[in-house]
A and B are shown apart, each in its own frame.
Chain A
Amino acid sequence: MLGGTVRGKTTRLRLPTLDDLPQVDRWAADMRVRRGGPMGRIGEPCASSTWKERFNDVVKDKDCVLWLIEADSAAVGLAKIRFSGAPAADAVDIQQFLIDPGHWHKGHGFDAALTLHRWIFDIVHLRCVNIELPVDQLSALRIAEKLGYERFAHGHEAFYRDSAYVDQYRMRMTLRTWDERWGAEHREYPAPLGPELEA
């Protein structure tokens, strides 16, 4: 599994360990998290043993990276990407991006998203990243639009929850947009390996 630790301003993306499971358990079954469309399908089991299995499986999956999002020494979220196969191996899909509801409205979602995109564009230098979002996930859509995602498809009634079908936006962000929008600002962030190795 590719990946490694990536530091943002308030969050840190690092690979999860089994020791993180009790913290993830605390919020991963919260329906506010699970209704987030592709970030946690309602039909999937959400038991502790399932998460343990997922943590173990993702280590063996060479096409995926799963990060734990950490803030203030607590596990506050998860982010998972999947690489497309060759010859489009320079594109990824964000498959999960979720934040513990107890840590909403603190800016961790945007900081972790920006950090994730630093990894995608600055560190691994990929060409583009795709995401699919329910149209009523307003906070996620705001983050995506602020980062520079553009919508390329509108799927109708693609998700079902809360007794209703909900539409879906499919969005893409490219390396060119990243460079134009974030090219100067992202360099203010600490080096991914940490200041001790920066020299």
Chain B
Amino acid sequence: MLEPETTRFWGWRTLSRGDDEIEKRFKEQASGTTNVAWAIHLEEEHVGFTGIFDIDWVARDGESGIFIGRSDLYGRGIASEAIRLRTAFAWDELRIRRVHNWIVMRNRGSRRANEKAGYRQMGRLREAYFRTGQWHDEWLGEILLDPSPGLPRKD
């Protein structure tokens, strides 16, 4: 989580990344009822995280995120597979019917991995993310389960 390459489009610049702070955040996350988080393992190595956060159980909607902590693993389909597994768990086990996310436009790898899993663009926010001395646009994506039979839809 300290590599500039892996945090280029991810995370805050003001949060502490000390062991105590990270452990505290993990514990808070684990005790919450509106988050589901996973470690991503490649063979026996822990190489990243993914999760669904801020779940609104009434609307059955949550926000997703993913982080791969080794830049040498980019382009090998690890994020794509993790997103597919996460999305399947959301529908099959949690009955979440919509997941949305924000991705920095220039983070093509993450966008492509989400699109491969079925996410579609719902918007674009200009100059939303500041990193390396410049503003970047953000891509807003969403994925929807087909409407359940019998549920009316308000237009």
A86 within 8 A of B: yes
Interface 9-mer from A105-113, A138-146, A164-172: A164-172
Q: Do the beta carbons of A85 and B14 come within 8 Å of each other?
A: yes
Number of B residues, CB within 8 Å of A: 30
Shortest distance from the beta carbon of B10 to any chain A beta carbon, whole Å: 14
Q: Mark A154-180, 1 if CB is under 8 A from B, else 0.
A: 111111111111110010100000000
Contacts of B128 in A (CB 8 A): 88
Contacts of A155 in B (CB 8 A): 98, 100, 122-123, 140, 142
Q: Do the beta carbons of B123 and A166 come within 8 Å of each other?
A: no
A136 within 8 A of B: yes
Q: Which residue of A lies closest to B142 (CB)?
A: A155
Shortest distance from the beta carbon of B155 to any chain A beta carbon, whole Å: 8
Q: Which residue of A lies closest to B125 (CB)?
A: A152
Interface 9-mer from B23-31, B57-65, B103-111: B57-65
Asked if A153 meets B123 with Cβ closer than 8 Å, knowing A87-B130, A88-B128, the reply is: yes
Asked if A156 meets B122 with Cβ closer than 8 Å, knowing A43-B56, A165-B59, the reply is: yes
Interface majority SS (helix, strand, loop, mixed), chain B: strand
Q: Which residue of B lies closest to A91 (CB)?
A: B128
Q: Do the beta carbons of B59 and A156 come within 8 Å of each other?
A: no
Contacts of B154 in A (CB 8 A): 136, 162, 164-166
Q: Which residue of B lies closest to A164 (CB)?
A: B154
Chain A, interface size category, equals: 20 to 34
Contacts of A151 in B (CB 8 A): 123
Q: Which residue of B lies closest to A127 (CB)?
A: B127
Q: Do the beta carbons of B153 and A165 come within 8 Å of each other?
A: yes
B84 within 8 A of A: no
Asked if A163 meets B142 with Cβ closer than 8 Å, knowing A152-B126, A155-B122, the reply is: no
Q: Mark B121-142, 1 if CB is under 8 A from A, else 0.
A: 0111110111100000000101
Q: Do the beta carbons of B98 and A153 come within 8 Å of each other?
A: no
Q: Which residue of A lies closest to B100 (CB)?
A: A155
B76 within 8 A of A: no
Q: Do the beta carbons of A170 and B140 come within 8 Å of each other?
A: yes
Contacts of B61 in A (CB 8 A): 158
- Within residues 75 to 100 of chain A, which ones have a CB less than 8 A from any CB in chain B? 85-88
A39 within 8 A of B: no
